[in-house]
Structure 1
Amino acid sequence: MARKKVPVARFTVSVPAELLRELDRMAAEKGYNNRSLAVADMIRDELVEHRQRTGQGEIVGTLTLVYDHHTRHVQETLTELQHEHHERIISTVHVHLDAHHCLEVLLMRGPAPQIKRIADALIAARGVKHGKLTVTTTGHDLPG
């Protein structure tokens, strides 16, 4: 299947020479063919983060939780919260890390403020030692 040709726009940016050298070094290390591709990806990344912070649009994300399963009622609390938000939680993976700790990864999708609220509630549950929400776009709202 051929990729659809996306129209491009050119613009000029002035930056200090050392900053440009660092950009070129980073782009090469990451395997970009040219700096335009690297800059476009950085812009997309910032747009996704901005939309998540400002609550605009739908996002997808992964919530990673590490918890001590010996903490009283932690598993019941996490399961109950997940059931309350079943329409936003697409999938979960549960891994036993050792005799006391579990890792749970939740795939989530929905409006940014709702996903953030759900993640905050799960992270705040008693027994959760660490939690981190990582978000991205669904792709349909970002060009190129």
Structure 2
Amino acid sequence: MQRITITIDDELLAAVDRLCSERGYASRSEAVRDLVRDAVAPSRVARDGGAPCYGALSYVYDHGTRDLARRLTDEGHHHGVSVASLHVHLTRDDCLEVAVLRGSATALQAYADSVVTQRGVRYGHLRLIPGNGAGPDDHPHGDDTGG
């Protein structure tokens, strides 16, 4: 690990200290590392659109919009990147859906675009998370080695 020195104004340092306090960071360094990871992850994923990554797609939609639920389900089956989803009724008319995705950044973005551009979908947001190249079969649970 490398040590660096940065210069920031008092107001920004106070904001970092508040962040540390609010989120429970043990040090400013931990907070800054997380902020930098958050800032560079999208460009890291974008540099290689074919690299494996994960994603969380969240969107709010009007469940009364004709055939929308069926179209959203069809999109999920067509793209083949959805791992799991959570569906919550927010109001009488609005639902929140959160989909966990796995695939290339290009495939995840195409799926997200096909969902959030549907008539009746609002507030769509895709969060891409760089993968490490390992697939789900490369991560055993409860094997004989105590993993």
Report the TM-score when normalising by structure 2. 0.75
* Alpha-carbon distance in structure 2 between the residues aligned to 1:80 and 1:126: 15
Q: Percent identity?
A: 36
> By how many angstroms is 1:99 displaced?
3.7
Partner of residue 127, structure 2: 134
CA contact (8 A) 2:58 2:99 kept: yes
* Alpha-carbon distance in structure 2 between the residues aligned to 1:26 and 1:97: 29
Determine if the alignment matches structure 1 residue 47 to structure 2 residue 47: no
Partner of residue 136, structure 2: none
Structure 1 pair 13/106, CA: closer, same or farther in 2 (3 Å)? same
Structure 1 pair 120/16, CA: closer, same or farther in 2 (3 Å)? same
User: Counterparts in 2 of 1:47-66, with a 5 A limit?
Assistant: 47-56=40-49, 57-66=51-60
The CA RMSD measured in Å over matched residues stands at: 2.2
> By how many angstroms is 1:134 displaced?
2.3
Partner of residue 80, structure 1: 74
Aligned length: 132
Question: Which structure 1 segments of 5+ residues have no match?
Answer: 1-7
- How big is each residue's C-alpha offset from its partner over 1:85-129, in whole Å with a ceiling of 9 and x where there is no partner? 12x110122233344332222111122222112101100112213
SS state at 1:130 partner? strand
User: Counterparts in 2 of 1:33-44, with a 5 A limit?
Assistant: 33-44=26-37
Question: Which structure 2 segments of 5+ residues have no match?
Answer: 134-147
